[in-house]
Chain A
Amino acid sequence: MLIQVDIVSSEAEIWSGSVAMVFAPGEMGELGIAPRHAPLITRLKPGEVRILDELDNETSFFISGGILEVQPHLVTILADTAIRAEHLDEVAALEAKQRAEETMANRASAMDYARAKAELAELAAMVETIKKIRKRKA
């Protein structure tokens, strides 16, 4: 009896296939998942995911955390590509905010939608004209 395993990260598909057993570093402890495991969902710690195929060949992957979902015949591992931690995320958010604040400090004035619209209309007209000129040439 085999279980379908899909390991994906946000940047690429890592592995997909049928295996006899999966081992993963769950947040509350190491997990071993065989076919017909009860539905389970948990976060993963950074560590090694090992899979055993029917011939007992072992393959392993390193993941830097993620989420594991178990359905009776399907295991999905959503692997992170970045090291995640609450404080790290917080720092990244602050940096993004700071960059924006610098931009805001230098901005001309508050958003004037009417003017922006007029300006865009002008640009669109320009593009139209270029198109027309090109058509006439052809």
Chain B
Amino acid sequence: MSGAKEIRSKIKSIKNTQKITKAMEMVAASKMRKAQDRMTATRPYAEKMRNVICHLSHAHAEIKHPFMIEREIKRVGYIVVTSDRGLCGGLNVNLFKKTLADMIAHDEQGIEIDVVAIGRKAVEYFKRRGANVVAQASHLGDTPHIDELIGTVKVMLDAFAEGDIDALYMVSNDFVNTMTQTATIAKILPVAGPADDQLKHHWDYIYEPDSKEILDSLLMRFVESQVYQGVVENIACEMSARMIAMKSATDNAGDIISDLETMYNKARQAAITQEISEIVAGAAAV
């Protein structure tokens, strides 16, 4: 068989690929751990924020901030959070699938859609698809800071405040565990008030400067922190998805290599057998 040399070079190239995927797997694993730490570090803020908002809405039920009022939906906004880079399995595809299903449901009701794209994959996808992208942010890196998101979120907050959109959703991946990430759609605006409407004892805060302004900045930070948390969580998802994808790529490369090695040995043996039979035949002829 003539293929022995070709098979050998193929094995070599697959071995190189395997080295790369193995390295990527290990890098993703270490980044995942850091991303997970960051994810847990951002939780207390959102929790405390929710507590304050809860206290606040108990304090004076009569004043309602526009961000807390449900209204008839004519136009909705989506904040779609994806990764900047690929090679992370079906992570982004699953997210787009979920987003699209929800968008189609809205579209069929005649509701218009605005999109904020966070992450390069989302930007590219919605550009190709031709969605109405009103703001975008990408290249946030592995350690995003909230100030990189303020502007992007503000576009949607302003649109909501001015009545351009009537609801705001965020689509991002939920980190369940290393093996599982689920794409989820969460409603961000209007902010859901606390469920119980029963009258507690009457008390109120001292507001400095006044309640409207305080609520304004509080709710703005609340939404920002939710989006920020979504982004941080998405990074943890990206890293673990990449780790899994690269692990299976490494395993697959191993399978292919062992197949090719068998093939190579067979080819080598066939060549030897042929040579011997040629020699034997030659000797017999003499």
Partner of B214, one of A8, A42, A110, A127: A42
B 123-148 contacts with A by CB, 8 A:
123, 126-137, 145-147
Given A11-B42, A100-B136: A27 in contact with B208 (beta carbons within 8 A): yes
Partner of A124, one of B97, B204, B218: B97
Interfacial chain B residues near A84, Cβ < 8 Å: 150
**In contact, A117 and B224 (Cβ under 8 angstroms):** no
The answer, yes or no, to whether A1 is at the interface (CB within 8 Å) is no
A contacts with B, residue count (CB < 8 A): 54
Q: How far is the CA of A92 from the CA of B133 in the complex (A)?
A: 16
The answer, yes or no, to whether A56 is at the interface (CB within 8 Å) is no
Q: How far is the CA of A18 from the CA of B145 in the complex (A)?
A: 29
Interfacial chain A residues near B136, Cβ < 8 Å: 96, 99-100, 103
**In contact, B45 and A78 (Cβ under 8 angstroms):** yes
Q: How far is the CA of A62 from the CA of B84 in the complex (A)?
A: 33
**In contact, A67 and B221 (Cβ under 8 angstroms):** yes
Q: How far is the CA of A8 from the CA of B152 in the complex (A)?
A: 23
Partner of B208, one of A43, A99, A110: A43
Contact pattern, A 2-40, Cβ under 8 Å of B = 1, otherwise 0: 000010111111000000000000111000000000111
**In contact, A93 and B135 (Cβ under 8 angstroms):** yes
Given A67-B52, A81-B147, A92-B147: A41 in contact with B217 (beta carbons within 8 A): no
Q: How large, as a class, is the contact surface on chain B?
A: 35 or more
* Interface residue SS majority, chain B: helix
**In contact, A111 and B130 (Cβ under 8 angstroms):** yes
Q: How far is the CA of A71 from the CA of B206 in the complex (A)?
A: 11
**In contact, B52 and A89 (Cβ under 8 angstroms):** no
Closest Cβ of chain B: how far from A33's Cβ, in Å? 12
**In contact, B145 and A78 (Cβ under 8 angstroms):** no
B 5-42 contacts with A by CB, 8 A:
38, 41-42
The answer, yes or no, to whether A57 is at the interface (CB within 8 Å) is no
Q: How far is the CA of A104 from the CA of B155 in the complex (A)?
A: 16
**In contact, A78 and B221 (Cβ under 8 angstroms):** yes
Interfacial chain A residues near B208, Cβ < 8 Å: 26-28, 40-43
Partner of B147, one of A82, A99, A111, A123: A82
Closest Cβ of chain B: how far from A102's Cβ, in Å? 9
Contact pattern, A 74-115, Cβ under 8 Å of B = 1, otherwise 0: 001010111110000111111111011001101111111100
Interfacial chain B residues near A109, Cβ < 8 Å: 130
**In contact, A10 and B214 (Cβ under 8 angstroms):** no
Partner of A41, one of B56, B127, B221: B56
Most buried by A among B48, B104, B137, B154: B48
Interfacial chain B residues near A135, Cβ < 8 Å: none
**In contact, B133 and A91 (Cβ under 8 angstroms):** no
Given A76-B51, A107-B128, A113-B107: A96 in contact with B152 (beta carbons within 8 A): yes
**In contact, A92 and B154 (Cβ under 8 angstroms):** yes
Interfacial chain A residues near B135, Cβ < 8 Å: 93, 96-97, 99-100
Q: How far is the CA of A18 from the CA of B233 in the complex (A)?
A: 31
**In contact, A104 and B132 (Cβ under 8 angstroms):** yes
Q: How far is the CA of A75 from the CA of B34 in the complex (A)?
A: 30
Closest Cβ of chain A: how far from B113's Cβ, in Å? 8
Interfacial chain A residues near B3, Cβ < 8 Å: none
A sample of 27 inter-chain contacts (CB < 8 A) reads: A8-B45, A11-B38, A11-B146, A12-B41, A38-B206, A39-B55, A41-B52, A42-B208, A43-B208, A43-B214, A67-B52, A67-B221, A78-B221, A81-B146, A83-B147, A89-B151, A92-B151, A93-B154, A103-B127, A104-B127, A104-B132, A107-B127, A108-B129, A113-B104, A116-B129, A120-B96, A127-B93
Extra contacts besides A96-B116, A104-B127 (16): CB < 8 Å: A6-B44, A11-B42, A11-B145, A40-B207, A43-B209, A43-B213, A67-B214, A93-B151, A100-B133, A107-B127, A109-B130, A111-B131, A111-B132, A112-B129, A113-B100, A117-B100
